[in-house]
Amino acid sequence: MKEVNVAVIGTGAWGKNHARVFYELENAHLVAVCDINEERAKSIATKYNAEYFTNFEDILRRADIEAVSIATPTTTHYSIVEKALDYNKKVLVEKPIASTIEEAKKIANRIKKENHFLMVGFISRFDPSLSLVKEIIRSGKIGKIVHLYARRVGPFWPERVGDIGVIKDVALHDIDLFRYYIDSNPISVYTIAGSLRHKYEDYASIIMKFENDISAIIEANWITPHKKREINVTGANGILLVDIMTQEVQLESEQWIMKSKTHWKEPLKLELAAFINAIINDKDPPVTATDGLIALAIAEAALQSSREGIPVRTDRLIREILNSK
């Protein structure tokens, strides 16, 4: 069995899970980890029998390392991705792909021009319950989709994120997921958001309008005392109710109610396995740089809407992105 030699850049609250999963995957070999906190890097490296570094370029210079995952603060994504591509590494970068649309455009355009491999870490696409929703939508069992709703609320996790607000951190999952579900991009977005306890926005309600009279609402916050993760999809012939925490899907129609509890599987392990398998099989990444760019552009439009108090058109911007060379 072919193994991919991989390294993890950033071993904080989320990156340490990347290291664990790569260590557990049969077709991945965790060679090294990197973190600016030497004690943290050393601790993770010792735990998973890897080398450790405090300068990510020391990892990139290693010819034996084929792939890297980047789980550092958002503000560092662009510079690390660019350097990784300079060394022709296969890259997984956690969402959001970059801090700004301009940075994300540069990455996406470079990927196209130079034919690099880069995958964006939208973990929700790999959750078994949310994958089942995609299958049910595709099957036509609930008919034409008319509305999507997501609720991701819960207390702030200060160790994990510090340079973006709840829209780019939490709501971004569902911005991407809804695009993925209906194979379409929103025409416009309207947002009410604010900050009660944090530097950046910590609550947001986002309304998106898609073509064919499809609407979507995303509720996200860091202030609710208990964590909740829910998705509802309404179709002409039925509704899907998903509890992401338990990975349970309920399908309701006029005739019956059906519950399907998938066997619980770790979404991160499925995501990183997809990353490794795409490399081994010389396939395109399942989530592309363009996906990351479009999701970020929609999130930026949502932030603009919250500042200006008006709906913001997204269709022209997305068309520009898709037509750029």
Specify the number of domains making up the chain.
Answer: 2
**Which pLDDT value is given to residue 325?**
57
Domain that holds residue 283: 4-121+269-288
Collect all residues with Cβ–Cβ distance below 8 Å to 50 and sequence separation of at least 6: 7, 19, 23, 30, 31, 32, 33, 44
246 and 149 together in one domain: yes
- Residue 162 pLDDT exceeds 80: no
Residues 78-99 have a mean pLDDT of 98
Collect all residues with Cβ–Cβ distance below 8 Å to 308 and sequence separation of at least 6: none
What CATH number does the domain containing 139 carry?
A: 3.30.360.10
**Which pLDDT value is given to residue 260?**
85
235 and 191 together in one domain: yes
Q: What is the spatial distance between Cα 260 and Cα 233, in angstroms, rounded to a whole number?
A: 15
What radius of gyration do the chain's Cα atoms show? 20
* pLDDT tens readout for residues 280-320: 999 999 999 999 999 999 999 999 999 999 999 999 989 98
Q: What is the spatial distance between Cα 114 and Cα 133, in angstroms, rounded to a whole number?
A: 35
Element (H, E) at 234: strand 228-235
* Beta partners for residue 145, in sequence order: 235
| SS3 state of residue 252 | strand
102 and 220 together in one domain: no
Cα distance between the two ends of the chain: 37
83 and 151 together in one domain: no
Dihedral angle of Cα 15, 17, 23, 25, to the nearest 10 degrees: -120
Examine residue 96 and say whether the peptide bond preceding it is cis (omega within 30 degrees of 0): yes
46 and 132 together in one domain: no
**Which pLDDT value is given to residue 289?**
98
**Which pLDDT value is given to residue 159?**
52
64 and 138 together in one domain: no
* pLDDT tens readout for residues 49-77: 999 999 999 999 999 999 999 999 999 99
Average pLDDT, the chain: 95
Decide if 50 contacts 75 (C-beta within 8 A): no
At which residue do the structure tokens 């570094």 appear?
53
pLDDT-derived band of residue 157, with 50, 70 and 90 as boundaries? low
What CATH number does the domain containing 10 carry?
A: 3.40.50.720
More confident residue, 104 or 261: 104
* pLDDT tens readout for residues 223-276: 999 999 999 999 999 999 999 999 999 999 988 899 986 688 999 999 999 999
